[in-house]
Amino acid sequence: MFTRVAAEYDLATRAMSLGRDRRWKQRLVARLPELRAPRCVDLACGTGDVALALSRKYPDGEIIGVDLTPPMLELARARIRRENIRFLQRDMCRLELPAGWADIVTGSYALRNAPVLETAVAEIRRVLKPGGWVGLLDFNKFAAQPWQVMQLAVLKLWGGGWGLVIHGRPEHAYIAESLRQFPDRRQWQARLERSGFQIVHQESFMLGFLKLVILRKQDLS
């Protein structure tokens, strides 16, 4: 699907967020700590919005944007030409980076699409240095069942409708199905804490449909 929609992906995300998507991503990066020259990995980087924001915040840092979809990476490379950014085709469950390489890992609309969520979370922990930081922006599954039913119905209509308008197919109706299979807000927080991450900051957008979370890697020993 991401191969089919790559050329129009940015337009779709702007439309579905009512023009707020870039602002949320900038907020994610703004909430990360001030470090001199961090190594950063942006998961499911798409066309490079977060990677670009990271390179501006950390001009002396090293930023790697990873994505599975070649057309997305082609767009990112054509759009962004900065010396401290590389874009690589990688699975977020197998980043092919040394353990403890990264100071920061980010993901916008990323982990919800992981092939195996537990593996992706473990891979983030593996590549992070002790005390490393994680910034995640994604849809936030409500905990109460009645609210979940409403939320998933709204997202199916909203994403599918914009998909029809922009792509001629209800491509983004998939968001509701991917969220249906994802842990709810409380389950997700508990899973992150069990995996050795401390939640440092949280904030919600769009009536709680989306959430920004900043985490820090903890010592499990």
pLDDT, average across residues 196-216: 97
Q: For all residues of the chain together, what is the average pLDDT?
A: 96
pLDDT band for position 51 (cuts 50, 70, 90): very high
Whether 191 has a pLDDT exceeding 80, the answer reads yes
Cα 20 to Cα 17, 68, 106: the distances in Å are 5, 25, 18
Whether 206 has a pLDDT exceeding 80, the answer reads yes
User: Measuring CA to CA, which residue among 62, 57, 71 is closest to residue 97?
Assistant: 62
Whole-structure pTM value: 0.95
* Interstrand relation of 197-205 and 102-108 (parallel, antiparallel or unpaired): unpaired
Structure tokens at 26: 């900038």
pLDDT band for position 188 (cuts 50, 70, 90): very high
- Residue 1 is predicted with a pLDDT of 87
Whether 220 has a pLDDT exceeding 90, the answer reads no
